[in-house]
Structure 1
């Protein structure tokens, strides 16, 4: 919070605090993957969805 008032010299419109945003955002994405795994189980039991099967089947004919 203390670095939001400071600007980067090369990019004056960007606050220094914005350079630290990937850390909590990455943590949030990791938390979403953990919750998905806990609530829905492992992905190896789920069906694989691909959108190119119809194209591959018509090319084989």
Structure 2
């Protein structure tokens, strides 16, 4: 949970969007998280709640 990592330990990926049901990131975004610039991390972190909410509304998240 370094670098304000949004991971909450629920690692289940939606086949349609590719987003994690827990944090909203894709596998490539998770892999790149530590190497991202602070600006890019912040921009992505702002979008994650929307992704998780959208996935939950579509029934893709627990």
TM-score w.r.t. the length of structure 1 is 0.32
Higher relative contact order, chain-length normalized (CA < 8 Å, sep 6+): 2
TM-score w.r.t. the length of structure 2 is 0.31
